[in-house]
Chains A and B, each alone.
Chain A
């Protein structure tokens, strides 16, 4: 890439907790965040373990200094604002005002967590009520618009929706906007709140596991859903040095491809995953043997792990890097998955640790390779993070040690 793009600030809220410290400590302690949901109202809630954020909407409002109750903010937006608050903490307000930021957000179902409760009122004859505050939350840009309003971010805003690779794509767009000189800095990431809509969607596809999910395990059955928000501040190395910012990691490569195979299933040999990882390596100017750890997409669905595993085997051949999926910690957080796992990848580089692939016991019969079952100290220079989605939308990101 022309100018080196670096990460200088991050923010996260997930089932592992609010903020970087809580999330990192849980990863180190190999402590998963999956529970039976307390906040999601669904008849399936008592049967499915999920990565639900512990805070209620009112708790989140309190963290943000917003009025509690029906204030027009959806849980999607509240999660996004809390994570963004952490990103913005280290940033001089004047910098934002003088030089401007891009805000690239990603999302799969907008404010569905609220809409699904209010929809009957939306389409009724009722002309008055609290539901009116939520009329604009039907689309994916609602959280983005709230972020830029709350923090006064300008001049560039966009929202991406490519299913489970959405926020990894947000990171790519941010990097490219900077490289083209359209903005100097970009805050990129994604957010998704648990909703009945999403739970029932995945449940109707029969790929949600009632047990804790087991990525890359022969007994895997499906995914656990989760909710989260994660954002990263990207800028050029030069811009970071100018302001004396600590560089957390370098975004050294990325790839975006499409399977062109099936609306929801990956190509069985993982051609899409293979192409994407290869493209990211090419962009980074690296060889397969340079990758020390892969934070895999690893949803624990039958199809994903077989396709992704085969792609890893084919691309890395005799140099299979350490790899693991952190989905058993957080659940699959959909649009947020790419950005929170980018953060986990950066921490892997900083801590020199490959994160545990929790609940792994039995090697897959389709694969010769196995994930890191327990957290492992390792010399990590380059880490690859995969995010693959419905519609065949694949993204790989490569982060390198600062």
Chain B
């Protein structure tokens, strides 16, 4: 049985003002074209000025979020760096592929090729933090970040010494990607304003999004924001397996349903996946707040990262922005949050976070 691990710092670049704004989700950002893009920040604060000139947007977003997390944790060099990404730098892949086709395989720019490799952000973060330790990149669609977190948990259980790993995720929305996934029926035919996405759960499809989120994960309970008590990855989830997983997590932790302060749900306004969350909306007691986040970040492989970042902010702020709330509960404080998130390619993940040490 592995010991739980702790989140000691978190940062997120997302379609919301999540990075350096004052307050908690001020001025909610919405869109009506089916795409939510990251709010840019001043990337030059985090990346060497020579290197930054050739960098693609995904690299800037990923590296800056990782570096900001290290800053918040007050650590220069982590013990290792582990990331998850569904698609890496999509835009670099598109540019190299596009050039290759257009220029008929002649005189190509290697920068796009190098940056399109899924582990390039890890390499940059290792260079910038001078981290010669463990380094790993998981690329498993909707479970990319989850496997990265599991890896960190295993590493921290392999060592008695206090250690801190930089763990994060990043994924990007592009015009091409939107077109491609439209053919796979990912998106809604009639695109609503993103803020009202969840009121359209009677039709198929959702909206696209992107983001990066990084965390320092440690076995040191002191100064931790919360612990990751439990994490379960589900294949081909059904309402029954989601409910059964929640029940077993609660049983294992000796918790009753009403002890849950919040369930943070990945419902995406897509009629095909809404049933996964129906038991949560119906079975949670008046004590529990049911909240949602995908109308703020859109659908992408590592959206769990945005949810985890939100959870860390909820724990520290102890206030719940109105825009998240689906069903308000009466528990006075937020001491634990259950994150339940699905991904359209047939996976879901359920994580229990807690501030009880």
Contacts and interface: CB of A to CB of B under 8 A. Distances in A.
Interface of A: 42-44, 107-108, 115-116, 119-120, 122-123, 127, 132, 135-136, 138-141, 144-145, 154-163, 169, 173, 176-177, 180, 182, 196-197, 200-201, 203-205, 256-264, 271-272, 275, 389-393
A260 B127 contact: yes
B123 A393 contact: yes
A247 to B, nearest CB: 24
A293 to B, nearest CB: 26
22 contacts: A108-B117, A116-B100, A138-B87, A141-B139, A154-B235, A160-B136, A160-B137, A160-B139, A161-B139, A162-B135, A163-B117, A180-B2, A196-B100, A200-B100, A256-B134, A257-B133, A258-B131, A258-B134, A389-B119, A392-B127, A393-B123, A393-B137
A23 B154 CA distance: 35
Given A141-B140, A258-B135, A263-B124, A204 B151 contact: no
Given A161-B119, A162-B135, A163-B119, A262 B127 contact: yes
Nearest to A115: B97
Interface in B201-241: 233, 235
A43 B105 contact: yes
Contact of B110 (A136, A139, A204): A204
B356 interface: no
A44 B105 CA distance: 8
A159 B140 CA distance: 5
A123 B132 CA distance: 40
Question: Quick one: which of A44, A145, A154, A160 has the most chain B CB within 10 A?
Answer: A160
A259 B132 contact: yes
Interface in B295-351: 345
Nearest to B176: A123
Given A43-B105, A132-B183, A180-B2, A197 B123 contact: no
A257 B108 CA distance: 31
A138 B158 CA distance: 35
Nearest to A140: B139
Interface of B: 2, 81, 86-88, 96-97, 100-101, 104-106, 108-110, 113-114, 117-120, 122-124, 126-127, 129-141, 143, 147, 150-151, 154, 157-158, 176, 179-181, 183-184, 233, 235, 345
A120 B98 CA distance: 9
B86 A139 contact: yes
A119 B93 CA distance: 11
Contact of B100 (A136, A176, A197, A256): A197
A263 B63 CA distance: 13
A42 B105 contact: yes
Given A136-B184, A258-B81, 12 more contacts: A122-B180, A127-B183, A157-B143, A159-B139, A162-B119, A162-B136, A163-B119, A200-B105, A204-B108, A257-B132, A260-B127, A390-B117
B323 to A, nearest CB: 31
B130 A260 contact: yes
A393 B135 contact: yes
A257 B135 contact: yes
Contacts of A120: 101
Given A158-B138, A162-B135, A263-B114, A43 B104 contact: yes
Q: Which 6 A-B pairs have the closest CB atoms?
A: A391-B123, A201-B113, A258-B135, A161-B118, A204-B110, A140-B139
A304 to B, nearest CB: 15
Contacts of B101: 116, 119-120
A257 B134 contact: yes
A264 B180 CA distance: 30
Nearest to B178: A123
Nearest to B128: A260
Contacts of B120: 263, 390-391
Contacts of B100: 116, 196-197, 200
B301 to A, nearest CB: 8
A157 B158 CA distance: 21
Contacts of A197: 96-97, 100, 113
B135 A256 contact: yes
